[in-house]
Amino acid sequence: MPIKTDLNEKISAIPLFAEHRLTWVGQTGSTNDDLKSAAEKGDFSLIRVADFQSSGRGQFDRKWEAEPDASLMFSFSFVLDLASSFPISLLAGLAVLKALKVESKSNRIWLKWPNDIYAGRKKLGGILVENLCFAKRQVAIVGIGINFKPALKVDDAISLEEIGCSVTKEALLVAILSEFSSLRELDSQTLLQQWADGAGDFWNSEFIFKDPTTGRERVVRPVDIFADGSLKLKVENAEELKINSGRLVLAKHRAA
């Protein structure tokens, strides 16, 4: 896809992405995989957008399904600043949330730990962050997918079109990258507070948590989050549980 000159200019004006090269393709397997291949060759400063991914994926290797041109799907890479301890997945989610709230004016959008974007009780977008080591450098590859049009094959998904947002893909791409760059300048405690505030309905909802070690499923409610990204949950029997990873599935028709 030909890239408009002003799009390149807007992205190059964003501090973190001033030296990045943008490519926009009609179809690829996975934009994250494309950037991993580039990183193996020493290129750590890329942004890649695709109108369709044939092998798109999310957290826990779940497949990202979207019709051609129905979503904004992109990845970007950068060398990690090891002085920052705040999880990139949470920071990326916060950047998406802030950009969407500006562009959509919607108060329905909230963050679901660790890296999903929800509107109401349906998923609007997701994030996949992969931290890798190339040539003794720690490199982050951040993949982001936002539904622009209704998802035909996913019942629990929602789109920007369905919440009345008419932003263009180009404008949202620039907004997300700009927010991400700005947020990288903040300290962990400020980021933590902003994430907690942005979570909104997350704190008032019940979830099914499947313990990755035992396989046991429990009904839980999130009560706190920490600067390292770990989450404190309250179980139905009032037991408290701290987790660093795992999947939370929104409990159907159950609000805390």
pLDDT in tens, 174-207: 999 999 999 999 999 999 999 999 999 999 999 9
**pLDDT score recorded for residue 57:** 55
Q: Write out the two tokens for 185.
A: 């300048």
Q: What pTM value is reported for the model?
A: 0.91
Q: How confident is the model at residue 64 (pLDDT cuts 50, 70, 90)?
A: low
Can you name the residues that pair with 17 across neighbouring β-strands? none
- What top-level class would CATH report for the domain 202-255? mainly beta
Give the span between the Cα atoms of 153 and 20, in whole angstroms: 34
Each domain of the chain, given as residue ranges in start order, spans 5-201, 202-255
Q: Write out the two tokens for 150.
A: 């209704």
Domains 5-201 and 202-255 share a fold: no
Closest CA to 116 of 18, 249, 12, 255: 249
Give the HSE-up count for residue 76: Cα atoms under 13 Å, Cβ half-sphere. Answer: 24
Identity of the amino acid at 203: W
**pLDDT score recorded for residue 61:** 52
Higher-confidence position of 155 and 123: 123
Statement: residue 253 has pLDDT above 60: no
Give the span between the Cα atoms of 84 and 37, in whole angstroms: 25
**pLDDT score recorded for residue 183:** 97
Mean of the per-residue pLDDT values for the chain?
89
**pLDDT score recorded for residue 73:** 95
Q: Write out the two tokens for 144.
A: 């982001």
Q: Superfamily assignment of 5-201 in CATH?
A: Bira Bifunctional Protein; Domain 2 (3.30.930.10)
- State which H helix or E strand residue 35 sits in: helix 31-40
Structure confidence by residue, pLDDT tens digits, 93-136: 999 999 999 988 778 899 999 999 999 999 999 999 999 987 78
**pLDDT score recorded for residue 60:** 47
What share of the chain in percent tops pLDDT 90?
A: 70
Report the chain's terminal Cα–Cα distance, integer Å: 46
